[in-house]
Amino acid sequence: MTKIAVAKGDGIGPEIMDAVLSVFQAAQVPLEYEFVDMGKWVFDKGFSNGMTSEAQQTIENLGILFKGPMETPKGKGVKSINVTARKTWNTYANKRVFQTLHGVDTVFSKAGIPIDVTIVRENIEDTYGGVEHMITPDVALSRRFITRPGSMQVIKYAFEMASKKGARRITCGHKANIMKLTDGLFLECFYEVAKNYPDLKADDVIVDDLCMKLVTRPDTFDVVVLTNLQGDIVSDLCAGLVGGLGFAPSANVGDHISIFEAVHGTAPDIAGKGIANPTALLLSGFSLLQHVGLYDKANMIENALLYTLESGVHTGDFGDRNKPSLNTTEFANAIIANF
Amino acid sequence: MTKIAVAKGDGIGPEIMDAVLSVFQAAQVPLEYEFVDMGKWVFDKGFSNGMTSEAQQTIENLGILFKGPMETPKGKGVKSINVTARKTWNTYANKRVFQTLHGVDTVFSKAGIPIDVTIVRENIEDTYGGVEHMITPDVALSRRFITRPGSMQVIKYAFEMASKKGARRITCGHKANIMKLTDGLFLECFYEVAKNYPDLKADDVIVDDLCMKLVTRPDTFDVVVLTNLQGDIVSDLCAGLVGGLGFAPSANVGDHISIFEAVHGTAPDIAGKGIANPTALLLSGFSLLQHVGLYDKANMIENALLYTLESGVHTGDFGDRNKPSLNTTEFANAIIANF
Ligand SMILES: CC(C)[C@H](C(=O)O)[C@@H](O)C(=O)O
Ligand SMILES: CC(C)[C@H](C(=O)O)[C@@H](O)C(=O)O
């Protein structure tokens, strides 16, 4: 049986992770879990990267981490635990799938515009290196690095994934008209890799234009690959298209270690109340199940979730305000009842 | 009578500028025009910044430029004429107003969500300086500069404008959680200026979250101020919310010179056919009229335009496909008929 590392995280993390694992258990998902200590609460105990060395060892041995949201510690020079994890394990591709969920109303679903966009974001480079300086007290400089190997690995991943899923189109988002060398290099890599996929329609769109098109004709896009910060922005835009971060799953993929997580935050205001929406984490769980080859289980759970949402059953954060809302555990049980 | 410089630009530029000026004339707008040579067609004659020195002199004397779209010349090291113009004259604030236009259907108008967002974008700094190098053939570096004076001047402009228009809220969009020094400096300036406007509700939102919120609850925003590239991306997103770049006006404001332009491109595919939509340039014209204090004329033309759009009259690029569409001149005349 495959064993994975699980970190429940901070805030609502433990509640939604418990709910998701209860769904996995009811579905008899053949996975074993090793729970690891990672999150802001571990940082607060003096572990500067937000995890114990046992946790790090376990994750590196098992190769797969399923994690709840983690709070970014405050303070100058302190880095986000999520970003540090991506970097530590070189999870160079961040894949986020955004699909219309029936039962989750948005302006697009109401207008009958179906959404099915996968964003692949480079996950390590760009200004995320955090190489910044004050040149004078009045002038700040941030260094934005884009490398050929870094670009190639995420773009190759995107094409391979797009090709496997039979994508209609793969698009490179960039700002190479202004950042001619950095984004120019990324774009060059994109078309270099494209040569190996003659059957895939590959094109590029300038990132500002891409955002305009995503809010007017999102149905024309399929897979979009971008550099880190632009990918961050475009991912959240796409999350908005399908109803918000509560419905946005995320997989951080590397050659040795992959991390599956919800994109939303720790929601401290509702933590501990047992009312959080576990959907995004559950959707990330599907990615995980697919990643380890458990396609049947992934489908079974996905169908039950979609059916549950479509039938108007929901947690309190969304859905028809006139219909009663369920708490986290009730919602998980409703999904289980629909297997 | 106030005299302004007018550059018709490339592609559809001359057609839409003629249409807009015919509307101005019919409205008896008390402006004199001095037409200047500026655009890709001037670049092609050997003027590397896309304008003759007479043009530059005239614009600097008059202080106001009304311009059509201009094509960016191709080639390594060649800069966009628009970006060069912004820089040459230090037009540090780019103001773009996005409002629901009745008669222009979007998913948001159909959902009954009214949009009235003004984006103020820093217009000079950030990676737009174009300071890039190849460190090795495989590593590209772009330097992103944010300065205190540069940030202060655009933020002061944004607050002053927001306060004058009685804004409900002014928001700083940024990524200071990752770019702690550069965006941190911008954010610091924002709250420093905010102190002088105790009656204005000032807050900040991380740019990815901002994009998510703009596509789900755009009606909660009023004025948003951002650094250059993030502002570029968010502006286009907002253009999408109201129907696309065909409805997106833009004012580049500096202390000595201001430029009013449409944000869209030169549309070479339809150039010369007389069918382009002059709405964005006309909307930019309103900003210009307000800038020179001609509020009555601005209102008169704006009302006529809104009435025209609302009554279902439109150019071929949008609106009800079952209703006949007008060409550029006919559309301008329809507006004039509604004075
Ligand atoms: C929390 C933040 C550092 C992070 C990012 O910018 O990558 C988040 O926005 C995300 O998308 O996972
Ligand atoms: C054409 C391009 C250089 C320009 C920019 O990035 O500023 C455009 O997108 C704009 O918003 O005016």
Residue B23 CA to residue A71 CA, distance in Å, equals 56
Q: How far is A28 from chain B (nearest CA, A)?
A: 35
pLDDT for A339: 93
Q: What is the pLDDT of residue B63?
A: 97
**Mean pLDDT of the region B306-319:** 90
Within this chain, do residues B11 and B143 fall inside the same structural domain, yes or no? Answer: no
Last residue within a domain, chosen from B217, B252, B287: B252
Query: Would you state the pLDDT for residue A123?
Result: 96
The strands making up A139-147's β-sheet, listed across from edge to edge, are A132-136, A139-147, B139-147, B132-136
Ligand minimally distant from the alpha carbon of residue A209:
2
Measured CA to CA, the distance from residue B337 to residue B339 in angstroms comes to 6
pLDDT at A14: 97
Lowest average pLDDT, out of A31-45, A70-84, A117-131, goes to: A70-84
* pLDDT of A210: 98
Residue B155 has pLDDT above 90, yes or no: yes
Spatial strand order of the sheet with B223-226 comes to B31-35, B2-7, B64-67, B258-262, B249-253, B93-99, B116-122, B223-226, B169-174, B201-206
Asked whether residue A175 falls in the same domain as residue A118, the answer is yes
Burial (CB count <10 Å: 0-12, 13-18, 19+), residue A137 = exposed
User: Looking at residue A166, what is its pLDDT?
Assistant: 94
**Is B127 close to A236, i.e. CB distance below 8 A?**
no
CA of B125 to the centre of ligand 2 (A): 13
**Cα separations (Å) of B104 from B266, B300, B320?**
21, 20, 9
Claim to verify: residue A236 and residue A99 sit in the same structural domain: yes
pLDDT of residue A37: 97
Q: How far apart are CA B193 and CA B321, in angstroms?
A: 48
Of B96, B46, B39, B45, which Cα lies nearest the Cα of B69? B39
The stretch B51-73 carries a mean pLDDT of: 96
Which of A217, A247, A277 is the last residue in one of the domains? A247
pLDDT of A337: 96
User: Which pLDDT belongs to residue B103?
Assistant: 86
Tens digit of each residue's pLDDT (9 = 90 or more) over A164-180:
999 999 999 999 999 99
Cβ(B189)–Cβ(B259) below 8 Å: no
How many distinct structural domains can be found in chain A?
Answer: 2
Residue of A107, A174, A245 best to disrupt the B interface, most CBs of B under 10 A: A107
What is the rounded average pLDDT for all residues in chain B?
95
What does the pLDDT read at residue A74?
Answer: 85
Residue nearest to atom 11 of ligand 2 (CA): B232
User: What is the rounded distance in angstroms from the CA atom of residue B242 to the CA atom of residue B306?
Assistant: 13
Q: Could you tell me if B5 and B58 are in contact, meaning their C-beta atoms sit under 8 angstroms apart?
A: yes
**Burial bucket for residue B324 (CB in 10 Å: 0-12, 13-18, 19+):** exposed
Please judge whether B233 and A229 are an interchain contact, meaning their C-beta atoms are less than 8 angstroms apart.
no
Closest ligand 1 atom to residue A265 Cα is: 1
* pLDDT attached to residue A78: 80
A107 with A240, same domain: the answer is yes
Q: Is the CB of A237 under 6 A from ligand 1?
A: no
Tell me which residue has its CA closest to atom 11 in ligand 1: A232
User: What is the span of the domain harbouring residue A26?
Assistant: 1-92+254-339
* Whether residues B101 and B244 fall in one domain: yes
Q: Which of A199, A216, A247 is the C-terminal boundary of a domain? A: A247
Dist. CA B21–CA B33, nearest whole Å: 9
Would the CB atoms of B144 and A144 count as touching at under 8 Å?
Answer: yes
**Mutation choice for ligand 1 from B174, B175, B178, B205, CB with most ligand atoms inside 8 A:** B178
Region B85-100: mean pLDDT is: 95
Instruction: Return d(Cα A166, Cα A118) in angstroms, integer.
Output: 12
Residue A197: pLDDT band by 50, 70, 90 thresholds?
very high
Q: Among all residues of chain A, which has the CA nearest to that of B216?
A: A240
User: How many Cβ atoms sit within 10 Å of the Cβ of residue B300?
Assistant: 17
For the stretch A258-280, pLDDT in tens is 999 998 999 999 999 999 999 99
Contact A111 B113 (CB under 8 A): no
**pLDDT tens for residues B218-247?**
999 999 999 999 999 999 999 999 999 889
Query: What does DSSP say about strands A169-174 and A223-226: parallel, antiparallel, or unpaired?
Result: parallel
B291-314 mean pLDDT: 94
| Same domain? A99 vs A243 | yes
Percent of chain A exceeding pLDDT 90 equals 88
Residue A66 maps to which CATH number? 3.40.718.10
Give the pLDDT of residue A173.
Answer: 98
Report the nearest atom of ligand 2 relative to the CA of A209. Answer: 9
B43: Cβ contacts below 8 Å, ≥ 6 apart: B49, B50, B73, B81
B243 & B326 share domain = no
B22-48 pLDDT per residue, tens = 999 999 999 999 999 999 999 999 999
Residue A46 shares a structural domain with residue A116: no
User: Is the pLDDT score of A320 beyond 90?
Assistant: no
Distance, in Å, from the CA atom of B5 to the CA atom of A134, rounded to the nearest integer, reads: 40
Residues B30 and B86 both lie in one domain: yes
Average pLDDT, chain A: 95
Same domain for A176 and A296? no
Is pLDDT at A146 greater than 90 in this prediction? yes
What's the pLDDT score for residue A324? 82
* DSSP at B73: P
Query: Do residue A276 and residue A177 come from a single domain?
Result: no
pTM score, whole prediction: 0.94
Q: What is the per-residue DSSP string for A259-271?
A: EEEESS---TTTT
Crossing angle of helices A182-194 and A148-164, in 10° steps, is 40
Please check whether residues B168 and B240 belong to one and the same domain.
Answer: yes
Q: Residue A177 Cα, ligand 2 centroid: separation in angstroms?
A: 9
